[in-house]
Amino acid sequence: MTALKLAVVGAGPSAFYTVSRILSSLPAASARDVQVHMYDRVPAPHGLVRYGVAPDHPEVKNCINKFDQTAQDPRFSFFGNVLVDPTSTSSDQYPNAVPLPLTSLFPHYTHLLFAQGASQPLLLPMLPQAVAALSLVHWYTGHPAAPSTPPIPIDTIQHLTLIGHGNVSLDIARLLLRAPASLEQYNDLPRPVLHHLEKSTVKHVTIVGRRAPAQVSFTAKELRELMSLPDVSFEPIDSALLNTARTDDRLDRPKKRILDILSTGSKAKFGSTDKAWSLRFLRSPLEWHPGKKQLKLGQNSLTAHGQAEATGDEELFGTDSVVVSVGYRSEPSPGLKAWFDQTTGRIRNSNGRVMDSFGRVVQNVYASGWAATGARGVIAASMHSAYMTADNLLADLQAPVAEAVLSPLATDPLCGVPSPLHAAMGQVAGYDDWRTRAL
Amino acid sequence: MAPRRHTSLRTVPAYAFGPSRSLHTSSVRLHGPIERPPPGTGIKVTFQDSKGNLIKTVEVNEGDNLLDIAHEYDVDLEGACEGSVACSTCHVILRPEDFDRLEEPSDDENDMLDMAFGLTDTSRLGCQVKMRRDLDGLVATLPSATRNMFVDGKKAGKH
């Protein structure tokens, strides 16, 4: 039985839900017995709730109230603007953050939690000139690493193509298509972003996916929202494609409801509005030349297992700009090497317990959220992952996992924070600093 | 961007360990925004776990919703979006007879239920179930707490 001094990498929902579960489960433990230090490479806490959730979805951000409660706990400290386990890429991206090697944490903590999410967008090698959707998301959420101007010239282009049938594509389409006046009510939308959106010339967004209507990753809420915009219409989907999708007897209720929404289409009749959007199915991008404004698409068919298979047929598709949104993986920083699975792009784990490359649990090292499960699911999914990890950490405090690999962390940890931070404390941001001044 | 000085640094308590300590595990919760009726006068609501074990039976007022009720009475039901139908964390499973007495869930509620773990034909969001006199005796089952067991490289096993 040992006391707990936990370092947390990342300050998004999975970090906060794990920590809130741990602290609320140990109400009697004092700050002498239990301490949590949460690190994030940006100055402000809350991760994707702040820099991922669309600014016109403020109700999704209500979970911050719970995070604020956790942050009030005297056993909790937040250290923003600290880049744990830097890479050359992340050091370039966060030049103002204090670099902190992962190994420097080990003597100061008994436990380590990886909750840094999945920040690296998957790219398509055949589209080197396409823009990553993440840069647009960073732009419209006011992320500190984002440029001040939109990463695609929305004030000159008419037609935008998004690659990937997920919620990020729907968020981008919605923000570009809905009337800018309807966005004014959202305080989380940076005003410079709103001013750029007011000058947007985008009239049509096409979202391309390699598979069919029953294989989409976006969710009903985001789809219904886009279908309900008063002055935006949806190009009807070929009914044969929808009928084929419906014949799949493995469809669950969520998929059936999505097919119903797709079939009903938009409230506004296609062609009756100034702005519109379309979904294209069974297409994979092959080539994109911005100068020619032409995207080459390869046609696919669907295998019996629901996978895309190229038919060999190709087509040219006219568009002004191409943005790729096909998923994310965690960043394989050097300190993670023994625990990172290059194939899946996440930290190897068993129900939140980090494992080495031989599949052995590493004592006192944990992961939760997208860093552990891969980048799928909404905040509720990260919450469940976080609670599972927290419950396992708490169980391991009572009875450690048998046959676990010895922890690299301390059993009798040093006081305070790792020494590289001492000289740089002026650069480190506290939990509430973002409220009191622009960071 | 010029991050501000970390004001609380000097107040971070010095970390010190005593001899091996035992950490007591239990849970504390904050209470919700509703009031409890005088005993014996309220509408009865029963919460049970996924295995059908009684958690507790409580008395509530007309109009109270199951999420607020759970929070008032320390029942472990999350409400990440605080009742704004933007998440699925207050998912509960009702008995068919209770489910049928309620109005149909809205499209918005169904959209969120679609993302709930362990969705059933009688699932509802707790925040959308408002209590009425004729629902006296309603039973709300919390979905299973063990979800998507997740192990890399092999099937879920015991530790």
For residue A339, report the phi and psi dihedrals to the nearest 5 degrees: -115, -5
Substitution target in A81, A218, A350 with the highest count of B β-carbons within 10 Å is A350
Task: Calculate mean pLDDT across residues A313-341.
Answer: 96
Q: Please name the fold of domain B35-141.
A: Ubiquitin-like (UB roll) (3.10.20)
| Domain A4-119+328-436, CATH among 3.40.50.620, 3.40.190.10, 1.10.10.10, 3.40.50.720 | 3.40.50.720
Q: d(Cα B59, Cα B92) in Å, to the nearest integer?
A: 18
- Answer whether B26 sits within 8 Å of A43, measured CB to CB: no
* A433 closest CB neighbour out of B4, B80, B115: B4
Q: Which two tokens stand for residue A366?
A: 């944990």
Helices A13-25 and A379-398 cross at an angle (nearest 10°) of 40
- Answer whether B23 sits within 8 Å of A3, measured CB to CB: yes
> What proportions of chain B, in percent to the nearest 5, are helix, strand and coil?
20, 15, 65
> What would the DSSP string read from start to end of A9-54?
E--SHHHHHHHHHHHHH-TT--TTTEEEEEEESSSSS-HHHHHTS-
The reply to whether ipTM tops 0.85 is: yes
Q: Where are the domains of chain A?
A: 4-119+328-436, 123-324
Q: Which two tokens stand for residue A206?
A: 């096409």
Binning pLDDT at 50, 70 and 90, where does residue B24 land? low
Q: Which residue has the higher pLDDT, A28 or A325?
A: A325
Q: Which of A233, A237, A198 is nearest to A214 (CA)?
A: A237
What stretches of A56-155 show up as alpha helix (H) in DSSP? Answer: 64-72, 88-93, 133-141
Q: d(Cα A192, Cα A411) in Å, to the nearest integer?
A: 50
- A211-223 per-position pLDDT tens digit: 999 999 999 999 9
* A379 closest CB neighbour out of B80, B108, B157: B80
Q: Which residue has the higher pLDDT, A191 or B14?
A: A191
Check residue B11 and give its pLDDT: 36
Asked if the C-beta of A360 comes within 8 angstroms of chain B's C-beta atoms, the answer is no
Q: d(Cα A351, Cα A343) in Å, to the nearest integer?
A: 18
The DSSP output letter for A411 is S
Q: Which of A374, A325, A318, A281 is nearest to A171 (CA)?
A: A325
Minimal Cα distance from A57: which residue of B?
B86
Name the amino acid, one letter, at A384: H
Q: Are A362 and A356 in contact (CB under 8 A)?
A: yes
Q: Give the homologous superfamily in CATH for domain A123-324.
A: FAD/NAD(P)-binding domain (3.50.50.60)
Q: Where are the domains of chain B?
A: 35-141
* B4 closest CB neighbour out of A59, A388, A437: A437
Check residue B32 and give its pLDDT: 58
Check residue B151 and give its pLDDT: 56
- Helix (H), strand (E) at residue B124: strand B123-125
pLDDT at B7 over 50: no
pLDDT at A435 over 90: no
Q: d(Cα A385, Cα A10) in Å, to the nearest integer?
A: 15
Q: Which two tokens stand for residue B7?
A: 């004001």
The DSSP output letter for B97 is H
* B152 closest CB neighbour out of A31, A349, A414: A349
Check residue B19 and give its pLDDT: 38
- Strand segments, DSSP code E, in A101-182 are 111-114, 120-121, 131-132, 159-163
Binding residue numbers of A for NADP(+): 165-168, 210-211, 222, 377
DSSP-derived 3-state class of residue A327: coil
Minimal Cα distance from B112: which residue of A?
A221
Asked if the C-beta of A79 comes within 8 angstroms of chain B's C-beta atoms, the answer is yes
- Answer whether B24 sits within 8 Å of A26, measured CB to CB: yes
pLDDT at A196 over 50: yes
Residue with structure tokens 């919620």? A167
Contacts with B98 (C-beta within 8 Å, 6 or more apart), sequence order: B122, B135, B138, B139
Check residue A1 and give its pLDDT: 37
Q: d(Cα B45, Cα A14) in Å, to the nearest integer?
A: 32
Q: d(Cα A176, Cα A55) in Å, to the nearest integer?
A: 12
Q: Which two tokens stand for residue A406?
A: 């010895």
> For chain A, how far is it from start to end, CA to CA, in angstroms?
41
Minimal Cα distance from A43: which residue of B?
B3
- Helix (H), strand (E) at residue A385: helix A379-398
Q: Which two tokens stand for residue A381?
A: 């999914």
Minimal Cα distance from A66: which residue of B?
B80
Check residue A285 and give its pLDDT: 98
